[in-house]
Structure 1
C-alpha cells in the first residue's frame, strides 16, 4: 500500500521499550560477577552463544541446582515501581519438559514472588515480566536477592543468559508465551496469542474438497505471486515485472552480507537478531532486527529462486529460516511482545509459501508451527461472539492465515483449516458493533475505534477482496453477504473520495496521506471477478478511476512500487487481474455525484461534477483526531466542523497541510480558538492526548436527495477547554452551502475564537464590504457573510479569512453562504431582505431554515422538550434533524436522522474496555408530532401512525438506530 506508516509504529515501539535494556548484565567484560554462585554447577563466560556483543553467561547446571544473585543492579528501584520487573534473554540447548524458576527473595530470604519458565525449546527466548503485575508481588515488598532454581528431575543441562536487566519499567505490551505467563486479561490491544495457539483444530462441520478445488486455490495464489504469463505483453504487467526485478536485485545485494554458517550440530552461527520492540542500539552495538531481513531480503530470495531458479538464493533463504528459529523466531516465542512484529513479517509469510515445497520435513513442520503462532490462526477455530476484526489482523495476517491452511500436510487437515478460515473471514468482514473494527453499518472503516481511510481500512478492504477472489467458486468461497460488504465498502470508498483523495477528517495521524484510492484498484478487480460474471457496478467504477487522465501518474507510481513491508501486495498477478478486468466490455460509470451522510464517520459528503465537499464533526461516539509524537501534532481541529472542498475542474482544494505556512488554527469551516503552536500541540487534560470524544450525542446528517442535504452537530470540547462549545450546521442546496452557527462560547479570555471561511495559497482572492456584510472569494468559491466581523490576513500568497468571535464569547453566532459559481448577484440576494433563505431558528434549541423558492425546510432540533410552533414538524421526543420537501398535491417527503447510538463511551479511546468496544447500538422509538392530518408510509420499515383530528395532529413513531436516515412520505388525509 502507498502509505508507509512504519515510522510511527517504530517510534512507538522504541518509546515503550527503550528502558528495556537501560541497566543490564551483558557479560561483555568477560567476568562472571564474583558474588554469583551456583550450588552444584559451573558459571563461565561463553562466546558460543550470545544475544548482544560477543559473550553471554553459560550455566552448566546439575539436577536441583540453584544460582544465587545477591543484590543485583537495579533491583531496588525495580521492586519499588508498579511496572518494575525483569527483562532477560535465555538460550536453551536441549528441550525438556521442566521449568527453571526465578525466585525473588527479601532480606529474610523469604520468597516474595516467582516466575516459572519452561525449558521445552531450543534457541533464544525472551522474558518481559513485572514483579507486581505478573508475579503478584505485594506492592510494598523489597527484593534483596534472586535465585534461579534449575530442574529437579533432569540430571544436567546447559543454559545461557544474556542482557539480564531489572528495570523499573517493563513494557505494557508484554505478553504470555509458551515458556511463561503474564497477567493480561484485556486483549483489545495485545491479542491472546497463547489462547489461539492452544485452540483445538476442530470445526462443527468440515467442508470437504471437491474436484481438487484446494489445488485451484493454491494455483490462484501461486499465479498471484508469479504471474500467469497470459498478460505478459500488457504494458502495466511489463512495468510491474521490471520493477520486481529491481526489488529482487536489491534484495540479493542486501543478502550478500549474510553468510551461511552452521556449527557442527547444524545450529546456525548467525549474528544476534532482535524484534521490533528492542532499541536500535544495545550497549553501543547496533541491534539487527528480524524486520530488516523480512522486509528486504527473504521475499527477493524466494522470488529469485521461483522465477530464476537460483539455487543459491534458495540455500540462503533456508539458512535464514534456521537462523531465525535459533534467534527466537519460533512457535510459542513472544520475544517480549509480538504487538507489532506480527504486522511487519510479510517477507517471512510470503516467502514460506513460495519455498515450502523445498523445505525438509523437519523444517516444514517447524515453520508451520511458527506460522500458526505468528498468524494467530487459532482464532479461526474459536466461535466469535460478534462480527468484525481488527484491521491490522486483516491487512497483515489474512493472506498468511490462508497460506497456513493451504500448507497443511494432510488433506483432512487442509479441509478443516480452510473451513475454519472461511468462517473466520466471513465473520471478520461482517458488520461490527460499537467501536469495533473494521466494517461499519454505513461502510465506514474503523481502526483505533474510529474512521481511518488513509491507512488500515483500505488495506483491510484490499486483503478481504483478495481472499474473496482466491476462494471464489470453490467450496470455501466467502458468503454472498461478505461479497456484498466488500462491494459496498469499495463503492462507498470511491464515493467519498474526491478524485483519489479521502476526506481530511478521516486521515487519522496521516494528514498528508489523503491520496489512497488508486491503491484499491486491485481490490475492485478482485471483488468484481469473484462473482459468476464480473460485477458491472464495480467494473464501471474501476474503469472510470483507471481511465481518468488525472489519475494516470498516481496509477503508474503504484504499479512501479514493489516492496514487502507491511503487507506484500505488489505482485505480477495483481496487475494481471487489473488488466483482465480492464479488458472487459463493460463501460465506465459516469462521474459520481450526490450526497451521503456516514454516521460512523461523523461525515457528510456532497458532490457534483465540479465540486466535492466533506463536512466533519466529532461526538460522544466519533473521536476528534489522532496524532503521535511526530505525526499530525497540530491536527486538533480537523473535526471541529471542517468544510473541506475540492475544485475538481481547477484542481484546487481547501486542506493543504503540505504547504509550509499552513495554519492549523484556521481549518476552513471549523470554529476554533487561535492558539500558539506550543499549546495547539499540547496533549491537554486527557491522558490519551488524542482520540478524544465529546459528551454530546448530536451529530447528524440528512441526505434527502442528490442536491439537498444537511449536517449539524453540537460541538463540545471536554479535553482541553470544557467551556468551549458551539452549535454548527451546514445546509446543502444546489448552488450554495448555507452555514449557520450559534451559542459559540468559551471562558478562555487568552485566545480569540474564530470560524474560518478559507485559507488559500493563491493570490487570486478578494474581499468586498457591503452594508449587509461581506463578499469574499478564494480561487474557487465565493463567501457571502451576513453581519459579523470578518477579518483577512495576507502574507504573500497566503490568505486566511475568518469570522472573529472575540475572546471568551458567550453566545456568538455566524451566518454565511458558500457559492459554487461565484455569482455575486446571488450573493447579494442571499444577504438581502429578498433572500430565498429564511432563518426560523438559530439558538440553543434549534437551527431551522427554509428555502422559500424550493419549498424545503431543514431543521436541527437540539431540544426535544420544545414545541416548534408554526412548523410542520412541531415536536419530537428525542433530538434529531430533518429535511422536509414539499411534493405535489400538498404531500411531503420527510427525511429524518436521529443520531444517538445509545452505547457506552468515555473521554478518550484509551479508556474503552473490550466490553465497551463491542457494545451494540440500541434502537429507539422516535416520535414526531406533525401539524395537520397525514397518511404516512416509509419505504424502509413499518411506522406507527395515529391521527388526532380534534387537535389536527399526526403522530408518527418509527424505530431509529445507528444514526441512519429514514424517509417518511406524508400524504394529506381526508378530514
Structure 2
C-alpha cells in the first residue's frame, strides 16, 4: 500500500513539475532552439556542463558577441504579470570583471528593460529576476525578443545556459547577489546579504588577545564536538557516543554514492545540485539538493576523519567542498535565494571547523569567503540602533559566525572579527523593542513577530548559551547583562513550562510540539558554567529538571537523537558539560510554584504543586495563531481565552491535539463560534490568513502573589467576523478560578457561539443540574456554573462541555468557577447566596469581584471615563487591571497592570514594515484615584502622590510601560 501511494505521489509530482517546466529551455532535445543565433561565436548543445538532465547550451563567444532569442516561449505571459520575469542557470568557465547583459526588446527592437550579470566567477550561478519589479519595465511594455550581449573588452570566453525560463511568477524570495541586483528595500524577511558582504571589517576599538586565549576558545569548541574522553564510562556518554557512531556510519555509507571526479584542469565533476528553493522534480527527475548532503553526509565524514582517522572520508569531504563550489555554493552566489538555505546548512559549517586544517590554502581562502557570505558575518560590523536579532539567525548562524571569526589566519583580522562578533552577540541577546526578536522584556521569546516557545526561541537560547560558555573568561566574554538575559530567559522558560511542556497558546504552528524543556538542559549547563562559579539558581533548576523521574524518558530520547539539520548540537561534548554540572554539590530546587503575567505572550501562568494553568489571549500587539498549509490549520481559537491546565497528580491535561477526535472549536476557556472544519480552516478576510491582530489594547494580567492573580482581555476578531467580541476575565485564587465573560456578541446567525468548560477523553465525567446552575467534573477538575445554558455532548469517551450563547448573541455573559480540589460543598457555596465571592461589575465598563473572606478585590477597568465610587480604586485615566489585598493595620497592597504598549500595529503580521517592527514601547503617566487618604510607596520606581483632605482622595501618578506589573503599598495617613 505504501509503495503504491509513493508511486502515486511521484506521478503527481512529475505531472506538476512538467507543467511548471513545460516552458523551460533545458536543451535536452539536443538541438539549438529554432531561430537562436549568435553573431560572433558558436552555439552548441553540450554534455560537458549541465544543470538538469545531461545537456546545456554551450556558448563560445567572442568580444562584443550578441546572442538573439526571437519570441521566447512564455515571454508574453511573463510580461503581463507584475511578478513575471526570468529564471536561469549560468555556468562561466573564465572569470572576467565584465557583465553579460540580458537586453529585452519590444516588437520595434527598442529595449524595454535589461539585466546586467557580472561574469567574475567560475562555476554555476542562478538568476531569479522580475521584469517589472527588478528591471523597472513598464507594465504596458511587451517583450518580443531577448539579446544576450557578451563582454566588450574580453576577447573570448565559454558560457553555458541551462533551465532558462520566462515565467509569470518569479519567487518573492529572490535577492541580489554578486552577479546581479534585484529591487529589494525591505529586508525583514530576506536579509541584505550583499550589504553584509560589502561591510568593512572594522570595529571602533579592537579587543586584543593572547594566542593562548584564542586557543582556549578553539579547544572548548573542539572538545564540544569531539568530547574529552573524561566521562567515557558514564551511561549518557555511552548512549550519545553509540548514536553518534550510527550517525557517522549512515553518513559514510550514503557518501559511497558520491564519486570523486575531476577533469584535467581539476574542475570537479558531479551530478547537478540544487538549492532548497528549486522544485523537487526538474525535467522529470528528482532534484538532488545541497541540503541532503549538508544534513546527512558532510558532518559524518568530518567526524569520521577526526574520530576514526579515516583518510577516505577526508578526501570525500574535500571533494564535496570543490563540487559544492562548482555547483554554485560559493561566495556571492544566491542560487536564487538563501532565505532558508542559510538555515539548513549546519553540516557544511560544522564540518568546515573540523576539517579546516586539512584544506589547501586556496580551498581555505575560498571556503572562508563562502562562510562569510552564508553566515552574513558582515552584520557583525553593522550593529543596528536597537537590540535583538531574528531567532533563525541565532539558532542557525551564531556558532558558524564564531567559526568564521576563529578561522582567520591573520592575528589582527581575527581580533577584529572576534571583537565584532562579541559586540554582535551582546546586542543580539539584548532585550528587543516592539515586535522584533528574540528576547523580550518579560523573557518571552519572539519569532515571526510573536511569542514562539515550541521552536525558534529555545534554539536561540541554546545557541546564545553555548556562545557564552565558549567565550567565558576570555577577552571576548559576553557581558554581564547578556549573561543575566540568558539566565532569566532560562529560568522564565522553566517557570512557564508544565513539566517539560510550553503553553499551548505559544506553540506557533506546532501544536503537537509542546514538549521542549529537556532540549534546553545543555543551555542551563552552558550558562551556569559561564559564571565565575557555577550559578546556583540555574544549577538548582537544572538539577530538578534533570533528576525528575517523569522526565527520564524524554531526556534519554534527547540524548539518543544525533542529527545535523537546523542546528547541530548533538555532540559528545554537550553531554559531558551536562554531566559536569550534574555533579555539582548544589541541591536541586523545590517544585516551582507561583504566578506570572507575561505581557509579550498575552499569557498568565499560575502553578502550584498539583496544577499548572496557562491563560491566553490576543490583542493589538499579540497575534492569535500561526499556521501553514499543513500545520495547525484549525488553530484559530488558541488565543481566544484558552484556559489550559496540567494535572500533575493524575497526569491529565486539557489540550490534546494528538487525539483523533480533538475538536478545535471547543478549546477549554475560549469563547468561540462553532464552525465546520472547512470554515474553521478558511483563511478569512486577511491576506495573511494567520498571525492576525486585534484592535484592542486591553490584554492584561496581575501576578499579585503566589496564590492570587488575574487575567483579562477584550476580545475582538477583526479578521474573520468583525462583529465578534467578548470581554473575558479569569481570577485566580488558592482553591479555585473564577471565570467571567460579558458583552459576548456577533451578528453571525449561522453558527452558535459557545464558551467551552472542558473537552475530555476519559469517561470519568459528570454533570449535575441545580437551581443555581450546574456542577460538572472532568477527570481532574470541577466546574460550578452560575446560571446559563450548559450543554454536554459525548461520543464514546470523548466529552465536550460548554456554555451555549446561541446564534448572534448581543450581550451574552457567563460566570463559572474551576475548582482544583473537586469539593462539591465549596462548589455549592460558590453558587449560593452565601458565596464568599461577590461580583460587583460584569459589563462593558468593568469586571470587578471581591473575595470577601480574604479581603481581596480584583478589577479589570475597561472604561477610564467611569467612576467606581464604591471601590477603593475609584477612578483611573487609562484602562488597567488591579488586585487590592488588605494587609495588617488597615493598609493595602495594590498590584497594577496597565497594558497598552503604545506602538503601531497592523491587521496582521504580513503588513508590518521594518520600521513598524522596531518601534519602541512608550511610557504613560497612569493616574489612580483612591478613596481615602494614604501614604503610598512603590518598591520599583518613583511615583507622585498627592492627598486631597477635602475630598478625602489620594491621587497616585506612576509611569507605566510594557504591560509591566507594579506594586503600590498604601498606608493610611493621619488625618
Q: What is the TM-score normalised by the length of structure 1?
A: 0.98
Which range moved further: 17-26 or 702-711?
17-26
Determine the C-alpha separation between the residues in 1 that align with 2:923 and 2:822. Answer: 44
Determine the C-alpha separation between the residues in 2 that align with 1:35 and 1:728. Answer: 70
Residue 232 of structure 1 and its aligned partner are, at CA, apart by 1.2
Which residue in the other structure is 1:661 paired with? 661
Which residue in the other structure is 1:5 paired with? none
Determine the C-alpha separation between the residues in 1 that align with 2:569 and 2:120. Answer: 37
Determine the C-alpha separation between the residues in 2 that align with 1:250 and 1:220. Answer: 27
Residue 210 of structure 1 and its aligned partner are, at CA, apart by 2.9
Residue 21 of structure 1 and its aligned partner are, at CA, apart by 4.1
Which residue in the other structure is 1:276 paired with? 276
Which residue in the other structure is 1:346 paired with? 346
Which residue in the other structure is 1:469 paired with? 469
Q: What's the CA shift string for 1:842-879, capped at 9, x where partnerless?
A: 00000000000000000000000000120000000000
Which residue in the other structure is 2:110 paired with? 110
SS in 2 for 1:212: helix
SS in 1 for 2:498: coil
Which residue in the other structure is 1:596 paired with? 596
Which residue in the other structure is 1:137 paired with? 137
Which range moved further: 231-240 or 116-125?
231-240
Determine the C-alpha separation between the residues in 1 that align with 2:243 and 2:14. Answer: 32
Determine the C-alpha separation between the residues in 1 that align with 2:647 and 2:217. Answer: 44
Which residue in the other structure is 1:870 paired with? 870
Determine the C-alpha separation between the residues in 2 that align with 1:448 and 1:921. Answer: 18
Residue 15 of structure 1 and its aligned partner are, at CA, apart by 15
Which residue in the other structure is 1:229 paired with? 229
Residue 737 of structure 1 and its aligned partner are, at CA, apart by 0.2
Which residue in the other structure is 1:93 paired with? 93
Which residue in the other structure is 1:171 paired with? 171
Which residue in the other structure is 1:244 paired with? 244
1:51 corresponds to 2:51: yes
Which residue in the other structure is 2:288 paired with? 288
Q: Could you tell me whether the CA contact under 8 Å between 1:647 and 1:780 is conserved in 2? A: yes
Which residue in the other structure is 1:391 paired with? 391
Which residue in the other structure is 2:909 paired with? 909
Q: Could you tell me whether the CA contact under 8 Å between 2:14 and 2:281 is conserved in 1? A: no
Q: Could you tell me whether the CA contact under 8 Å between 2:85 and 2:131 is conserved in 1? A: yes
Determine the C-alpha separation between the residues in 1 that align with 2:335 and 2:199. Answer: 21
1:406 corresponds to 2:406: yes
Determine the C-alpha separation between the residues in 2 that align with 1:121 and 1:932. Answer: 80
Compared with structure 1, are the counterparts of its residues 18 and 877 closer, same or farther at alpha carbon in structure 2 (3 Å cutoff)? farther
Determine the C-alpha separation between the residues in 1 that align with 2:649 and 2:473. Answer: 42
Determine the C-alpha separation between the residues in 1 that align with 2:956 and 2:19. Answer: 62
Which residue in the other structure is 1:4 paired with? none
Determine the C-alpha separation between the residues in 1 that align with 2:270 and 2:279. Answer: 20
Compared with structure 1, are the counterparts of its residues 840 and 499 closer, same or farther at alpha carbon in structure 2 (3 Å cutoff)? same
Which residue in the other structure is 2:420 paired with? 420
Which residue in the other structure is 2:739 paired with? 739
Residue 23 of structure 1 and its aligned partner are, at CA, apart by 1.9
SS in 2 for 1:829: helix
Compared with structure 1, are the counterparts of its residues 878 and 18 closer, same or farther at alpha carbon in structure 2 (3 Å cutoff)? farther
Compared with structure 1, are the counterparts of its residues 608 and 577 closer, same or farther at alpha carbon in structure 2 (3 Å cutoff)? same
Determine the C-alpha separation between the residues in 2 that align with 1:628 and 1:201. Answer: 39
Residue 34 of structure 1 and its aligned partner are, at CA, apart by 2.3
Residue 16 of structure 1 and its aligned partner are, at CA, apart by 14
Determine the C-alpha separation between the residues in 2 that align with 1:467 and 1:66. Answer: 53
Residue 168 of structure 1 and its aligned partner are, at CA, apart by 0.5
1:824 corresponds to 2:824: yes
Residue 20 of structure 1 and its aligned partner are, at CA, apart by 7.1
Determine the C-alpha separation between the residues in 2 that align with 1:579 and 1:23. Answer: 59
1:332 corresponds to 2:313: no
Which residue in the other structure is 1:507 paired with? 507
Determine the C-alpha separation between the residues in 2 that align with 1:196 and 1:14. Answer: 39
SS in 2 for 1:243: helix
Which residue in the other structure is 1:182 paired with? 182
1:926 corresponds to 2:946: no
1:213 corresponds to 2:213: yes
Which residue in the other structure is 1:771 paired with? 771
Which residue in the other structure is 1:6 paired with? none
Which residue in the other structure is 1:947 paired with? 947
Residue 409 of structure 1 and its aligned partner are, at CA, apart by 1.0
Which residue in the other structure is 2:587 paired with? 587
SS in 1 for 2:180: coil
Specify every segment of 5 or more residues in structure 1 that has no aligned partner in the other structure, as ranges: 1-12
1:813 corresponds to 2:813: yes
Q: Could you tell me whether the CA contact under 8 Å between 2:18 and 2:284 is conserved in 1? A: no
Determine the C-alpha separation between the residues in 1 that align with 2:920 and 2:42. Answer: 60
Q: What's the CA shift string for 1:449-489, capped at 9, x where partnerless?
A: 00000000000000000000000000000000000000000
Which residue in the other structure is 1:63 paired with? 63
SS in 1 for 2:857: strand
Which residue in the other structure is 1:707 paired with? 707
Compared with structure 1, are the counterparts of its residues 211 and 64 closer, same or farther at alpha carbon in structure 2 (3 Å cutoff)? closer
SS in 2 for 1:513: coil
Q: Could you tell me whether the CA contact under 8 Å between 2:100 and 2:119 is conserved in 1? A: yes
Determine the C-alpha separation between the residues in 2 that align with 1:257 and 1:854. Answer: 74
Matches within 5 A, 1:523-562: 523-562=523-562
Q: Could you tell me whether the CA contact under 8 Å between 1:20 and 1:278 is conserved in 2? A: no
Q: Could you tell me whether the CA contact under 8 Å between 1:103 and 1:147 is conserved in 2? A: yes
Q: What's the CA shift string for 1:643-667, capped at 9, x where partnerless?
A: 0000011110000000000000000
Q: What's the CA shift string for 1:335-365, capped at 9, x where partnerless?
A: 0000000000000000000000000000000
Determine the C-alpha separation between the residues in 2 that align with 1:176 and 1:165. Answer: 19
SS in 2 for 1:863: coil
Q: Could you tell me whether the CA contact under 8 Å between 2:236 and 2:559 is conserved in 1? A: yes
Specify every segment of 5 or more residues in structure 2 that has no aligned partner in the other structure, as ranges: 1-12
SS in 1 for 2:162: strand
Matches within 5 A, 1:429-448: 429-448=429-448
Which residue in the other structure is 1:256 paired with? 256
Matches within 5 A, 1:555-570: 555-570=555-570
Q: What is the TM-score normalised by the length of structure 2?
A: 0.98
Which residue in the other structure is 1:578 paired with? 578
Which residue in the other structure is 2:956 paired with? 956
Determine the C-alpha separation between the residues in 1 that align with 2:150 and 2:531. Answer: 60
Which residue in the other structure is 2:762 paired with? 762
Residue 212 of structure 1 and its aligned partner are, at CA, apart by 1.9
Determine the C-alpha separation between the residues in 2 that align with 1:60 and 1:35. Answer: 17
Compared with structure 1, are the counterparts of its residues 862 and 16 closer, same or farther at alpha carbon in structure 2 (3 Å cutoff)? farther
Which residue in the other structure is 2:497 paired with? 497
Determine the C-alpha separation between the residues in 1 that align with 2:188 and 2:969. Answer: 44
Determine the C-alpha separation between the residues in 1 that align with 2:237 and 2:710. Answer: 45
Which residue in the other structure is 1:846 paired with? 846
SS in 1 for 2:488: helix
Q: What's the CA shift string for 1:813-860, capped at 9, x where partnerless?
A: 000000000000000000000000000000000000000000000000
Q: Could you tell me whether the CA contact under 8 Å between 2:543 and 2:589 is conserved in 1? A: yes
Determine the C-alpha separation between the residues in 2 that align with 1:535 and 1:84. Answer: 57
Determine the C-alpha separation between the residues in 2 that align with 1:17 and 1:649. Answer: 53
Compared with structure 1, are the counterparts of its residues 572 and 373 closer, same or farther at alpha carbon in structure 2 (3 Å cutoff)? same
Determine the C-alpha separation between the residues in 2 that align with 1:212 and 1:912. Answer: 47
1:194 corresponds to 2:158: no
1:722 corresponds to 2:725: no
Residue 317 of structure 1 and its aligned partner are, at CA, apart by 0.1
Matches within 5 A, 1:880-895: 880-895=880-895
Q: Could you tell me whether the CA contact under 8 Å between 1:19 and 1:169 is conserved in 2? A: no
Q: Could you tell me whether the CA contact under 8 Å between 1:461 and 1:490 is conserved in 2? A: yes
Residue 22 of structure 1 and its aligned partner are, at CA, apart by 5.1
Determine the C-alpha separation between the residues in 2 that align with 1:705 and 1:617. Answer: 21
Residue 880 of structure 1 and its aligned partner are, at CA, apart by 0.1
Which residue in the other structure is 1:3 paired with? none
Q: Could you tell me whether the CA contact under 8 Å between 2:17 and 2:283 is conserved in 1? A: no
Which residue in the other structure is 2:8 paired with? none
Determine the C-alpha separation between the residues in 2 that align with 1:555 and 1:17. Answer: 42
Q: Could you tell me whether the CA contact under 8 Å between 2:612 and 2:646 is conserved in 1? A: yes
Residue 794 of structure 1 and its aligned partner are, at CA, apart by 0.6
Residue 18 of structure 1 and its aligned partner are, at CA, apart by 10
Determine the C-alpha separation between the residues in 1 that align with 2:398 and 2:62. Answer: 46
Q: What's the CA shift string for 1:479-513, capped at 9, x where partnerless?
A: 00000000000000000000000000000000000
Determine the C-alpha separation between the residues in 1 that align with 2:742 and 2:773. Answer: 18
Residue 383 of structure 1 and its aligned partner are, at CA, apart by 2.8
Q: Could you tell me whether the CA contact under 8 Å between 1:947 and 1:953 is conserved in 2? A: yes
Compared with structure 1, are the counterparts of its residues 275 and 251 closer, same or farther at alpha carbon in structure 2 (3 Å cutoff)? same
